[in-house]
Structure 1
Amino acid sequence: MTLLLFPELPSEPPLPLAWPVDHSPSRLAVTDANRAAAAWLAAPALWPVPVTLLIGAPGSGKSHLAGWFAAHHDGLVIEAADTHEPERLFHAWNAATPARPLLLTSQRPPRDWHHGLPDLASRLAATPLIRLGEPDDELLGLVLAKLFTDRGIKVGDDLIRWLVVRIERSLGAAQAVVARLDAEALARHRAITIPLAREVVDGQGEMGF
């Protein structure tokens, strides 16, 4: 049984419902921004050791890829690994096997963890590390379109393009703006259009969310 340890999501804006997440291969948004990372996570049997560390800034898509990885491989995912007890990471690393690989995520590389456990440091030094940059326009647009579709909302490509250049460049911001637009549209009995998006995004300050 796969164990997912995701960090706590931002408290605002609240999600009115627990929307299901589709982790099927065809629904994974892949662009040049995350193509190499997605290809690596798709083939854990080819890893030199059964552990990988995924590094990226907040909103870069670590949780998105970790969730997809967990849905397709009988492994363990530990997010924000640098915040966990070093002994737990050490034992998880030792327990990983090709049949049950381990994926760690963090905002920081291991040299900045300051855990003070030499045995863990040696194992992390032998662990493949892949990095995610900020989402590019294509990835942000694909994610926005997927989030609207997951909620059963049809929007035009013009709205997606409008949002891409106005919200913060993170997948968390994409989730937040879609949730807020959905809530506002329901409350106002309006369709989600650029005029509504302008009201909502401009109301959140520069660059939206």
Structure 2
Amino acid sequence: MRQLLLDLMPAARPTFDNFVVGGNAELIAGFNGWLSERSQEPLFYMWGETGSGRTHLLRASGAEYLDAATDPALAAWPDDVPFVAVDNVDALDAAGEQALFNGFNRLKAEGGKLLVAAHQPPAAVGLREDLRTRLGSGLIYRAQVLSDAEKGAAIAAQAAARGLALPEGAVDYLLRHAPRDMGSLAAIVVALDRFSLERKRPITLPLLREVLHST
């Protein structure tokens, strides 16, 4: 059962189309403007708490993606790439700080772009002063976590788009018992649909509980 459900859970590629905007309309407008060819600003800094969609947007941007949480030294920094995204910059070690400092200076000089994300604004991250100053010199936007009502509406809309009739109480149950990020919630809706078809069983609360307990 467990392996079946893991196989059914999709590895959806983050895109702007499958990002649930919620209270982030200003962020998305600013981000799209920065991504356009008209923008000459080399740096975009996005901050917000876990689950606010920062990583989704970084991966959807088309930039070469690096994650300081798994590579604090930024040892994988690419050469000759004009657009780089660094996630979780607050997890950088000393070598990573130097790599980001040098990388940003190079991108700026060559007309490239740097996209960074962290849990806090530049002034509050625990990085060396010259790097914090550079990170604070670009566009700075906060990513807002979706409210439960926004998540519920998004789940219902995604289910409806697949032709699913979720039973009463299903959305509330998901919000109470499932991972609360939209990526996981959307994946569970897809897995629920596929599991229902695979087992030829209607979607009911007991089936939803079975899926969640198995994953």
TM bracket (short chain): 0.5 to 0.7
Q: TM-score, normalised by structure 1?
A: 0.65
Q: Distance in 1 between matches of 2:87 and 2:104?
A: 14
Task: Using the TM superposition, name which of 190-199 and 58-67 deviates more.
Answer: 190-199
Deviations 1:6-43 (A, max 9, x none): xxxxxxx84546644262x5544333x21111111101
SS class of match (2:61): helix
Cα distance, 1:134 vs. partner? Answer: 1.4
Bigger Rg, which one = 2
What displacement does 1:47 show? Answer: 5.6
SS in 2 for 1:63: helix
* Residue in 1 that maps onto 2:42: 50
Partner of 1:70: helix, strand, or coil? coil
Q: 1:80 deviation in Å?
A: 1.3
Note the C-alpha offset of 1:157.
Answer: 6.2
| Paired position in structure 2 for 1:37 | 27
* Deviation, structure 1 residue 112: 4.1
* Residues 17 and 161 of structure 1: CA distance in aligned 2, closer, same or farther (over 3 Å): closer
Are 2:116 and 1:104 aligned? yes
How far the C-alpha of 1:200 sits from its partner, in A, is 4.1
Is the Cα–Cα contact under 8 Å of residues 49 and 145 in structure 2 kept in the other structure?
Answer: yes
Residue aligned with 2:62, SS: helix
Displacement, 1:50?
Answer: 1.3
Q: Distance in 2 between matches of 1:100 and 1:191?
A: 52
Equivalent residues in 2 for 1:129-140, closer than 5 Å:
129-136=140-147, 137-138=149-150
Give the aligned partner of residue 84 of structure 2.
76
Distance 2:166 2:203 in 1: 12
Structure 1: which amino acid aligns with 2:86?
I
Q: Structure 2: state its 5+ residue gaps.
A: 64-81
Call closer, same or farther: CA 1:62–1:14 in 2, change over 3 Å: farther
Displacement of 1:169 in angstroms is 4.0
Q: Distance in 1 between matches of 2:39 and 2:192?
A: 41
What amino acid sits opposite 1:108 in the alignment? Q
Q: Are 2:132 and 1:121 aligned?
A: yes
Q: Distance in 2 between matches of 1:70 and 1:147?
A: 28
RMSD of Structure 2 on Structure 1 (CA): 3.8
Conserved? CA contact 1:60–1:132, under 8 Å: yes
Q: Using structure 2 for the length normalisation, give the TM-score.
A: 0.64
| Residue identity (%) | 23
Give 1:178's match in structure 2, choosing from 182, 189, 194: 189
What is the alpha-carbon distance in structure 2 between the residues aligned to residue 131 and residue 37 of structure 1?
A: 7
Residues 158, 114 of structure 1: alpha-carbon distance in 2 compared, 3 angstrom cutoff: same
Alignment coverage as a number of residue pairs = 184
Structure 1 gap segments, 5+ residues each:
1-12
Of stretches 78-87 and 183-192 in structure 1, the one that deviates more from structure 2 is 183-192
| C-alpha deviation, 1:132, in angstroms | 1.5
Q: CA deviation at 1:64?
A: 1.8
